[in-house]
Amino acid sequence: MKGLEKRLETLRTQMRERQIEGILITSIPNRTYLSRFTGTAGILLITLSKAFLVTDGRYMTQARQQSPDFQVEMHDGNEFERVAALCQQESVQILSFEEEHLTYAEYRILLHLCHETQLVPIKGFVEELRLIKDDQELQAHQRAMRIVDQVYEQMLEEIRPGNTEQEIAARIEFLMRKMGASGPSFATIVASGHRSSLPHGIASEKIIHHNEMITFDFGCFVDGYVSDLTRTFFLGKPDEKHSEIYGIVLEAQEKTLETMRPGMTGKEVDQIARDVIESYGYGDFFRHGTGHGIGLEIHEAPSLRLTSEEVLRPGMVVTVEPGIYLPNEFGVRIEDDVLITESGAIRLTKATKEFIAI
């Protein structure tokens, strides 16, 4: 069974178990996961026996090419009118919709049009299927990860004082595209000097100077799937405090990678890294969760943070990214993408974690 056929069959199995006659998919990542359609306009209607992709005239050829398992339907300006007609045609009495991805205005339109169909909200239905990556998804992830590994190594050779953070970010994004990425998976972070103490210090007009800590946090899309890599290095000669903080963060990250296992909750994984950092007295300066899931989106379940009860399972891909941020001084974060296996975790990003001084 091919990848998309298997996903649809798994979805329908879940639909039968929950007594769902039909489901309307309006989330773009969920639509892509189930159909591979990448156009900017389109929704899915899936029943226990048929699958429809409703789009406009611009995308009819693309939709048929990308989504051969779907019957492609063209609407004339109101996609929900076509959905309502299909529900009547297929005798769908109860239609589930994604409550987090349908606006109230869209719901009112659908409610008005679906006279003979009851609308029932569901949450996280497709997202649950997306938690476990299949071989095709892992291959796309790994291609995206190889690109960021290579870009980081090249940037270590190129970076010099005098460039702005924005110029460096532009170079990173150019190289990712040149190596085969379709684009960055989020706004590239280049944070130098005191700005490295900002966990999400998106590249600014600040000029990079000698004797500064620099953090890169960047990723790319390949075949719809993301990578997410963070590395911190020093431009010049670091002092003892720079080396100390880097060593603590690296110890916290490696301890987490060595210890995390399927069956652990997100908060248990988070506590591993947090315990290391707290043992050195820097707990107040670790101000975010230890990681998050990745896939078609840069932030997916499961979350690795203090409040997360989500359980790790084999086949999940997550980040592990502890950090210490000393306000107005500098910060350090080290992040890798990780595959959860039957016995532990495998690091998928391979870029060096040595504390490099250039």
Backbone angles phi and psi of 240, in degrees to 5 = -60, -35
What pLDDT is recorded for position 4?
Answer: 86
Backbone angles phi and psi of 330, in degrees to 5 = -165, 170
Mean pLDDT of all residues belonging to the chain: 96
Q: Quick one: tokens of 200?
A: 């999400």
State pLDDT tens for residues 276-333: 999 999 999 999 999 999 999 999 999 999 999 999 999 999 999 999 999 999 999 9
Distance CA 234, CA 210 (A): 9
Contacts of 178 (CB under 8 A, 6+ apart): none
State pLDDT tens for residues 177-190: 999 999 999 999 99
- Give percent of the chain above pLDDT 70: 100
Distance CA 242, CA 122 (A): 49
Going by pLDDT thresholds of 50, 70 and 90, the confidence category of residue 115 is: confident
Which residues in 135-211 belong to E strands, given as ranges?
A: 183-184, 189-192
* Whether residue 1 has pLDDT greater than 70: no
More confident residue, 1 or 199: 199
- Give percent of the chain above pLDDT 90: 97
Contacts of 122 (CB under 8 A, 6+ apart): 20, 23, 96, 97, 98, 99
What pLDDT is recorded for position 116?
Answer: 86
The CA-to-CA distance between both ends of the chain, in Å, stands at 51
Q: Quick one: tokens of 158?
A: 């190129």
Q: Identify the structural domains of the chain with CATH numbers, from first to last.
A: 3-130 (3.40.350.10), 135-347 (3.90.230.10)
Backbone angles phi and psi of 82, in degrees to 5 = -70, -40
The alpha-carbon radius of gyration of the chain (Å, integer) is 23
Distance CA 246, CA 256 (A): 16
Is 346 within 8 Å of 356 (Cβ atoms)?
A: no
State pLDDT tens for residues 221-264: 999 999 999 999 999 999 999 999 999 999 999 999 999 999 99
| Mean pLDDT across 106-127 | 94
Is 324 within 8 Å of 316 (Cβ atoms)?
A: no
Distance CA 310, CA 162 (A): 45
Query: How are strands ordered across the β-sheet holding 51-55?
Result: 71-74, 51-55, 43-47, 22-25, 94-98, 118-122
Q: Cα dihedral sign for 17, 19, 22, 25? A: negative
State pLDDT tens for residues 17-58: 999 999 999 999 999 999 999 999 999 999 999 999 999 999
Which one-letter amino acid corresponds to residue 107?
Y
| H or E stretch at 246 | helix 240-259
| Mean pLDDT across 68-88 | 94
| Mean pLDDT across 144-159 | 98
Is 97 within 8 Å of 121 (Cβ atoms)?
A: yes
* Whether residue 3 has pLDDT greater than 80: no
